Structure 1
Amino acid sequence: MASAREEILRRIRAARVPRAAPVVRGYHREGPGGVELFAERVADYRAVVRTVPDVPEALKALAGKRIVAPAGVPREWLVGGVTWLREPLTTEELDRADGVLTGCAVAIADTGTIVLDGGEAQGRRALTLLPDYHVCVVRADQIAGSVPEALQRLEPTRPLTFISGPSATSDIELNRVEGVHGPRTLEVLIVT
């Protein structure tokens, strides 16, 4: 008489193992199509999306606001008329800011996702979680076609944050609430 352990092992060995799913190719998107697809997908997540040729000109719309800017944002992004808040900032100071301006590490066309890795133009994670408004600058050459392509561009030991639109959650009745776990408004400036 076989023990319960032996019986379980016998059944495992006799089980039919399904064949692995085939690897799908052809998802790779490079070139200008990636910009349009990314813009469409990130807009589907209720982000405000603008394609701009010039970042400083686009940022003039922030005039009169108190905006957090990480140490590594390009100097030319710090346009006049905006009160630029710089690190170190307390949690309370971040919470009182009107918004934050960052760059990104990579963006993904297929999913409309922005990836932050804490790089110089992105700052620490709290910068993009506490202010209610996040402006993220994405250069066209930072847009990867797919998730696998994006992952190849990232350093896996860095703290990665994947953003797909403004922060949102739903309760059991599927009532959507924005801004619970991060910014209520995400504006994406795609630089062509």
Structure 2
Amino acid sequence: MADARTEVLARIRGALGDRSAPVVVPRGYHRTGPGSLDLLAERVADYRATVHRVASDGLVELIGSLLAGRRIVAPTDLPASWLVPSVTWLADSPPLTVEELDGSDGVLTGCAVAIADTGTIVLDAGEAQGRRVLTLLPDYHLCVVRESQVAATVPEALARLDPVRPLTFISGPSATSDIELDRVEGVHGPRTLEVIILRD
């Protein structure tokens, strides 16, 4: 038995040759591409999210029409112009409790980056995004994506992100098919996602 083992290991070593030098992994994949607002809108809609496209001068009016009469969670650094008067704003200062977040009608945030190829929105708890929990407990999430935040590919998006920040990748409303392969929405996050793509 020992002789067979020795022979097999000798053959493997011989086949591998000298592997003391570091192995260089080629990284020739595409880092940028023809990403566009049209592609992002198409991919986000493929994930059963609702997409709205608007110029910057129509953003406040659109936010007002989508959220009128609702109780909406607002990260502490949400732009003041987004805080339209037709909405009851639940400011996250002091931090809202789990019960308050769960009892709200939704949350409004910005994002860190959006990926056109995959229709994915990335949050990093940065400007206009708030704590991660703000986008996990409410059943509705309205997210504003600026044109300048759209990356064509995943590698391009990752290059814009700080890997030590808490990153949340969102591809459509929360959904799972773990239970008997039936799609169930709203298990791990908002059941409804609406995305405003803002042309700069």
Q: TM-score, normalised by structure 1?
A: 0.89
Q: Is the 8 A contact 2:107 2:141 kept in 1?
A: yes
Q: What residue number does 2:133 align with?
A: 126
Unaligned runs of 5+ residues in structure 1 are: none
The answer to whether the aligner puts 1:141 opposite 2:148 as a matched pair is yes
How many angstroms does 1:6 deviate by? 6.5
Q: Is the 8 A contact 1:67 1:84 kept in 2?
A: yes
Larger mean CA deviation between 85-94 and 165-174 belongs to 165-174
Name the CA distance, whole Å, in 2 between partners of 1:118 and 1:97: 20
Q: Any idea what SS the aligned residue of 1:120 has?
A: coil
Unaligned runs of 5+ residues in structure 2 are: 18-24
Cα displacement string for residues 101-142 of structure 1 (whole angstroms, at most 9, x for unaligned residues)? 000000000000000000130011100000000000000110
Q: Is the 8 A contact 2:123 2:129 kept in 1?
A: yes
The answer to whether the aligner puts 1:86 opposite 2:95 as a matched pair is no
Against the structure 1 CA distance between its residues 162 and 6, is the aligned structure 2 distance closer, same or farther, given a 3 Å change threshold? farther
- Aligned pairs, how many? 188
Q: What residue number does 2:22 align with?
A: none
How many angstroms does 1:25 deviate by? 3.6
Name the CA distance, whole Å, in 2 between partners of 1:9 and 1:96: 66
Residue pairs, 1:34-45, within 5 angstroms: 34-45=36-47
When Rg is computed on C-alpha atoms for both structures, the one with the higher figure is 2
The answer to whether the aligner puts 1:8 opposite 2:12 as a matched pair is no
Q: What residue number does 2:169 align with?
A: 162
Letter of the 1:82 partner, please give it.
Answer: V
Q: Is the 8 A contact 2:32 2:156 kept in 1?
A: no
- Give the percent of matched residue pairs that are identical in Structure 1 and Structure 2: 64
Q: TM-score, normalised by structure 2?
A: 0.86
Q: Any idea what SS the aligned residue of 1:52 has?
A: strand
Q: What residue number does 1:48 align with?
A: 50
